């Protein structure tokens, strides 16, 4: 009885997939290592910098911990400068006689580069903490004024300017959201005007920004038709007529009226369905006494915004001719 050979696998080698085993985070050990370097070198920044550069420390993984140790001397409880568990050193920026920049500038290599990156406004943005910078301050000093005063004194003016810009953007966003809700719900126009006045007073918003926001929220509330140009025109003109009093209340001089014209120009240039509506919207704003004759003529003759200007000037030409003839008759 013949025996059959058992089949074997040949020519193919089965590889075992290796698993990436991530080491658990250990910020406490990292902090203790940095603190020990400070203590070993008795606060000598040159020696500390050299030791940090030669040490096998993972700055990219424990960047926030390194930031804490350099600034406060060790790990801290969230939102305070109170010490957390672990060793501390007495040579922190908070207790040091010089500013953070001059302190950190003495460092070299990876530690300095990472510190510089941490202090840049771009890093705050990438870290998604740009709207929460005050959370890093002790609760008793957590105010925009306290933030500006502290970092201006320390020579970090760009950080102060960045934070003020973010606060300003948040105020604009909040105002726009509140007005969008009111206009969409067709709240009485007197109530909307009071809302704007109160927001402007509380946030100290520039008049030009107010005009821009008003036009945005008024047009955002329009129910646009996909392809019917006449329906879009009717909807836009109806919206202008409905909210003309609101625009009139805050377009109080020629400069603001001109800014409104530029805003209309930009929207019509960027939105294909509104491209041909520019002269009709301008005419409607004129009829509702939002735009004065002088403002329209100034835009036509000396307007500086180039976006679609040639097209819009040509489209508005017949209306401008009518204005000029009326001006000559008067």
213-240: per-residue pLDDT in tens?
A: 999 999 988 887 767 788 888 888 899 9
Instruction: Report residue 4's pLDDT band, with 50, 70 and 90 as the boundaries.
Output: low
- Residue reference for tokens 């040639």: 310
User: Nearest CA to 302 among 293, 311, 291, 313?
Assistant: 313
The CATH architecture to which 206-329 belongs is Alpha Horseshoe (1.25)
DSSP three-state, residue 215? helix
Residues 72, 66: Cα–Cα separation, whole Å:
10
The Cα–Cα gap between 265 and 274 comes to 10
- State residue 255's pLDDT score: 95
Q: Please, what is the Cα angle at 239 between 233 and 244, to 5 degrees?
A: 125
Residue 117 pLDDT class (50, 70, 90 cuts):
very low
C-alpha to C-alpha distance for 157 and 114, rounded to whole angstroms? 20
User: pTM for the complete prediction?
Assistant: 0.60
CATH 1.25.40.180 domain position(s) in the chain: 206-329
How much is the average pLDDT of 28-46?
A: 84
pLDDT at 11: 55
Residue 160 CA: distances (Å) to CA of 148, 151, 152, 163, 283: 5, 6, 7, 5, 44
Give pLDDT, residue 148: 85
Percent of the chain with pLDDT over 90: 31
Instruction: Tell me if residue 136 falls in helix, strand or coil.
Output: helix
Query: Rg of the chain's alpha carbons, rounded to an integer?
Result: 32
Question: What is the model's pLDDT at position 128?
Answer: 46
* CA quadruple 31, 35, 40, 41: dihedral, nearest 10: 120
- Give the DSSP H/E element, type plus range, for residue 266: helix 254-270
Which backbone phi and psi does 76 adopt, to 5 degrees? -130, 160
pLDDT value of residue 112: 47
pLDDT digits 0-9 by tens, 231-266: 888 888 899 999 999 999 999 999 999 999 999 999
Query: How far, in Å, CA of 246 to CA of 289, rounded?
Result: 11
Q: How many CA atoms lie within 13 A of 221 on its CB side?
A: 23
Q: Mean pLDDT over all residues of the chain?
A: 79
Beta bridge partner(s), residue 76: 83
Tokens, residue 305: 């915004």
What tokens does 144 get?
Answer: 């925009």
Q: Which residue has the higher pLDDT, 199 or 25?
A: 199
Higher-pLDDT residue of 85 and 116 is: 85
Name the pLDDT band for 133 (thresholds 50, 70, 90): low
Tokens of 189: 């126009």
The answer to whether 263 touches 307, Cβ cutoff 8 Å, is no
Q: Return d(Cα 42, Cα 126) in angstroms, integer.
A: 35
Residues 123-130 have a mean pLDDT of: 47
Residue in this structure with the two tokens 């250990």, named with its chain if needed = 26
Question: Measured between alpha carbons, how far is 248 from 228 in angstroms, rounded to an integer?
Answer: 29
pLDDT at 78: 65
The dihedral region occupied by 113, where left means phi > 0, alpha psi between -120 and 50, and beta the remainder, is alpha
Max mean pLDDT among 35-49, 73-87, 239-253 falls in 239-253
Can you give the pLDDT at residue 179? 92
Q: What residues have CB less than 8 Å from 1, skipping those under 6 apart? A: none
Q: How confident is the model at residue 2 (pLDDT cuts 50, 70, 90)?
A: low
Statement: residue 122 has pLDDT above 60: no
Mean pLDDT to the nearest integer, 292-297: 94
Task: Give the confidence band of 63 by pLDDT, cuts at 50, 70, 90.
Answer: confident
């Amino acid at each position: 009885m013949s025996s059959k050979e058992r089949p074997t696998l040949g020519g193919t080698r089965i590889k075992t997939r290796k698993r990436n085993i991530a080491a658990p985070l250990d910020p406490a050990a990292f902090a203790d290592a940095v603190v020990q370097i400070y203590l070993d070198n008795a606060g000598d920044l040159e020696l500390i910098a050299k030791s940090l550069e030669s040490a096998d420390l993972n700055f990219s993984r424990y960047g926030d911990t390194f930031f804490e140790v350099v600034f406060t001397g060790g790990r801290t409880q969230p939102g305070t400068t109170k010490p957390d568990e672990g060793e501390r050193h007495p040579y922190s920026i908070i207790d040091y006689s010089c500013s953070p920049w001059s302190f950190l500038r003495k460092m070299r290599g990876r530690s300095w580069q990472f510190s510089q990156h941490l202090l840049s406004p771009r890093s705050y943005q990438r870290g998604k903490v740009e709207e929460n910078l005050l959370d890093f301050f002790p609760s008793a000093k957590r105010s925009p004024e306290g933030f500006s005063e502290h970092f201006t004194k320390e020579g970090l003016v760009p950080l102060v300017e960045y934070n003020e810009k973010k606060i300003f953007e948040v105020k604009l966003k909040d105002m726009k959201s509140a007005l969008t809700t009111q206009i969409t719900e067709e709240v009485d126009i007197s109530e909307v005007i009071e809302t704007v006045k109160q927001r402007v007073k509380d946030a100290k918003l520039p008049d030009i920004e107010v005009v821009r926001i008003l036009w945005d929220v008024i047009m955002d509330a329009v129910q646009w038709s996909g392809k019917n140009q006449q329906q879009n025109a009717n909807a836009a003109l109806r919206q202008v007529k409905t909210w003309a009093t609101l625009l009139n209340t805050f377009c109080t001089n020629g400069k603001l009226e001109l800014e409104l014209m530029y805003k209309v120009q930009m929207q019509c240039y960027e939105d294909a369905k509104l491209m041909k509506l520019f002269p009709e919207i301008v005419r409607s704003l004129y009829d509702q006494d939002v735009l004065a004759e002088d403002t329209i003529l100034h835009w036509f003759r000396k307007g500086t915004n180039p976006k679609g200007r040639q097209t819009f000037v040509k489209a508005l030409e017949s209306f401008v001719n009518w204005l000029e003839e009326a001006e000559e008759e008067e």
